[in-house]
Amino acid sequence: MAGLEDLTPEQRAQLNLVQLLLSDPETSKQTRRLAKKLKPELQFSDLDMEDRINKEREKSSSEIRELQEQIRKDKFEAARNAAHAKLRERNLDPAAVEKVMTENGIANYDLAVEILEARAQAAAPTPDDLTPLTLPTGSEGGSDLWKDPKGFATRTAYAVLNGFRKNRAAHT
């Protein structure tokens, strides 16, 4: 077997480099990992143990994330079911309320119910004495409309305002 004296200067330099890398705590682990990468059958007990620990830690972290996600889903479902029960107590359709929530980007059931109820309320009935608007023709001032549109608009606006004032005075 050849001794260290039989090594070439280049081989001695390589050996010194390896010794330097392995003697430093920061580079020792990296050096051994590189050696294991090149030759996987090499055994380094501390690296193997660290790898097993890291693998188990990753597995545990993954399981914890999955459980946290499942807990979040369960809480969401429980809250949703409770909200649905409250809606059914008020004789409201949960699907209709959630449709309003989705359409309007609302995440609050109570606000969606308010919107749904506001939409369902009937508008106040139109009074019977209200007449539809018509465009004046002939002797009603139709000729004024085309000759002096601004003057006609002003006279008509005053007539409408006076009508409002009469109605207000009659109701007070």
At which residue do the structure tokens 């390896």 appear?
Answer: 18
Which pTM does this prediction carry?
Answer: 0.47
pLDDT in tens, 31-51: 888 888 899 898 888 888 999
Other Cβ atoms less than 10 A from the Cβ of 113: the count is: 19
The span from the CA of 46 to the CA of 34, in Å, is 14
pLDDT in tens, 56-115: 999 999 999 999 999 999 999 999 999 999 999 989 899 999 999 999 898 899 999 998
Enter the tokens of residue 109. 């059931």
The answer to whether 21 and 28 are in contact (CB under 8 A) is: yes
- Alpha helix stretches (DSSP H) within 90-138: 94-104, 109-120
The answer to whether 109 and 97 are in contact (CB under 8 A) is: yes
